[in-house]
Chains A and B, each alone.
Chain A
Amino acid sequence: MPQTPLHAEHARLGASFTDFGGWDMPVRYSSDLAEHQAVRESAGVFDISHMAEIFITGSGSAAFLDYALVGQASAIANGKAKYSLICNAQGNIIDDLIVYRLADDEYLVIANAGNRHAVVVALNERAASYGFQGVADRSDEFALLAIQGPTATALLQTLTDADLSALPYYSIGTGNLSGVGSYLCRTGYTGEDGFEILFPADKAVEVLNALIQAGATPCGLASRDTLRLEAGMPLYGHELSLEINPYQAGLGRVVKLDRDEDFVGKSALAALSTQTPDKQLVGLIGEGKRAARAEYSIYSSVDSTEPIGEITSGALSPTLGYPVAMAYVATASSEVGNIVSVDIRGTRAEMTVVKLPFYKRSK
């Protein structure tokens, strides 16, 4: 199983490991809850070097990405980032991505580890049919760390010469981090402020340890999952898949149909955009302590035996103290305030549809 450049360092720090997207990744170092809380209250650092970094460079980069993705990469200003999707011709989701514009003719696309191959293949196919040659999967060259939490930016500022206050949310800059030339991206997957930092893989151990010495708590993927769930952020393989289109996932805003040029999936997505989706992604909250978890069935009422949906992610929210879940439910049952019945291992529990996210940081 592939490992990040930090695998041995994680083991030294006492991590337990889990298979994530085909990678042997730290699931926790000591306590999921303590790591979750560190990110909500101070700062945590995650190794996300398993994610894919694909560079799009050269003349025509912007036009190529406009064709390959559902968002409009040409509309991103230099130094800014945008959440996007890569869809197939049927309008279903191959992956969700963050697209960073580094320069007029240079973009960085970050894709999920488990979809690296699918995204690279799709981009290469689209490049071939578009007559573009600047797609480079450079994932193996880089380490990627996420430093997240209310004190993350101040902590990171002590280690870099870059002025982080000049990098607002969803922007990217460069700087030296403990002397290592890095991309500094003000993005994340926890619902907190913070950065994702990209730098040469051979510097991974020293940069991680500099961050830990500066006060960041090393955090595993278990806490990353509960953090992103509270923040209402989708996880590919749970909320997003090749069976799901952006309108079902509540991501219609990401699809830019109102442009002249064609893009892969455009005609299918244009048709889908005019229809009411059969099912929609919703947030659910419950009472008590029993969490509704992925794949549990949802019914319209306690007496009903005909499922109207399925949980995609769920946990007892560490921050909120009650069960939260994301789920697909039939559109007729997806209205905020609607009460549904979830089968939690043979016992029904009522849950209420709420607006996502469950947790929003105070600015």
Chain B
Amino acid sequence: MSNPTNLQYTKEHEWVSIEGDVATIGITEYAAEKLGDVVFVDLPKVGTSTTYMKICGEIESTKSVGELYAPLDGEVVEINNAVVSAPETVNTDPFGAGWLIKVRFTSLPELMTAEEYSALTGEG
């Protein structure tokens, strides 16, 4: 598996794609594979404020529960309802159709590059 170089990453295995002042957020392929088949995602409501590294959602597989940590401060402007109704998309396309939330951020913390994240997960 390879982590796209156009994305940024957190140590909690989220990926972040920045466009203007909106960040699209998902979990990495590494995280999705560790979880196993995702059967349920619990996402924050649109309008919820997010705080850097505070839990804002849950991703459940048959075996375990993964937490979604907010990678930045801001406000949820969109959630991926397609993933809510088809949670397996997190496994099949974690970096694409399996995105989870979009957040309009107020400040941008320092995130990891693909190379740094790959080193963290031992894929480097």
Question: B-contacting residues of A (Cβ < 8 Å)?
Answer: 16, 27-28, 31-34, 36, 222, 225-226, 289-291, 293, 315-316, 318, 345
Q: In the docked arrangement, what's the CA distance between A15 and B61, Å?
A: 17
A34: chain B residues at CB < 8 Å are 37
Q: Contact at B62–A33, with CB atoms within 8 Å?
A: yes
Q: Contact at A31–B40, with CB atoms within 8 Å?
A: no
Which of chain B's residues has its CB closest to A34's CB? B37
Q: Does B83 sit within 8 A of A, measured CB to CB? A: no
Q: Contact at B65–A31, with CB atoms within 8 Å?
A: no
Which of chain B's residues has its CB closest to A316's CB? B39
Question: A-contacting residues of B (Cβ < 8 Å)?
Answer: 33-34, 36-37, 39-40, 42, 58, 60-65, 91
Can you name 7 extra interface pairs (CB under 8 A) apart from A222-B36, A225-B63, A316-B62? Answer: A31-B36, A33-B39, A34-B37, A291-B40, A293-B64, A316-B39, A318-B62
Q: Which of B34, B60, B62, B65 contacts A226 (CB 8 A)?
A: B62
Which of chain B's residues has its CB closest to A290's CB? B40
Q: In the docked arrangement, what's the CA distance between A16 and B34, Å?
A: 9
Q: In the docked arrangement, what's the CA distance between A33 and B88, Å?
A: 10
Which of chain A's residues has its CB closest to B91's CB? A31
Q: Which of A16, A32, A345 contacts B62 (CB 8 A)?
A: A32
Q: Contact at A32–B65, with CB atoms within 8 Å?
A: no
Q: In the docked arrangement, what's the CA distance between A31 and B91, Å?
A: 9
B37: chain A residues at CB < 8 Å are 31-34
Q: Contact at B63–A32, with CB atoms within 8 Å?
A: yes
Which of chain A's residues has its CB closest to B35's CB? A32
Q: Contact at B60–A316, with CB atoms within 8 Å?
A: yes
Q: In the docked arrangement, what's the CA distance between A212 and B91, Å?
A: 25
Nearest CB on B from A37, distance (A): 11
Q: In the docked arrangement, what's the CA distance between A158 and B63, Å?
A: 34
Nearest CB on B from A206, distance (A): 29
Nearest CB on B from A20, distance (A): 12
B60: chain A residues at CB < 8 Å are 289-291, 316
Q: In the docked arrangement, what's the CA distance between A291 and B34, Å?
A: 18
Q: Contact at B40–A289, with CB atoms within 8 Å?
A: yes
Q: Contact at A315–B62, with CB atoms within 8 Å?
A: yes
Nearest CB on A from B123, distance (A): 14
Q: Contact at B39–A27, with CB atoms within 8 Å?
A: no
Contact of A32 with B36 at beta-carbon distance under 8 Å, contacts A222-B63, A291-B60, A316-B60 already known: yes
Q: Contact at A28–B40, with CB atoms within 8 Å?
A: no
B34: chain A residues at CB < 8 Å are 16
Which of chain B's residues has its CB closest to A293's CB? B65
Q: Contact at A28–B65, with CB atoms within 8 Å?
A: no
Contact of A316 with B63 at beta-carbon distance under 8 Å, contacts A16-B33, A345-B58 already known: no
Q: Contact at B36–A290, with CB atoms within 8 Å?
A: no
B39: chain A residues at CB < 8 Å are 33, 289, 316, 318
Which of chain B's residues has its CB closest to A347's CB? B42
Nearest CB on A from B15, distance (A): 21
A226: chain B residues at CB < 8 Å are 62
B36: chain A residues at CB < 8 Å are 27-28, 31-32, 222
A315: chain B residues at CB < 8 Å are 62-63
Interface centre among B37, B39, B60, B62 (most CB of A within 10 A): B62
Q: In the docked arrangement, what's the CA distance between A1 and B36, Å?
A: 23
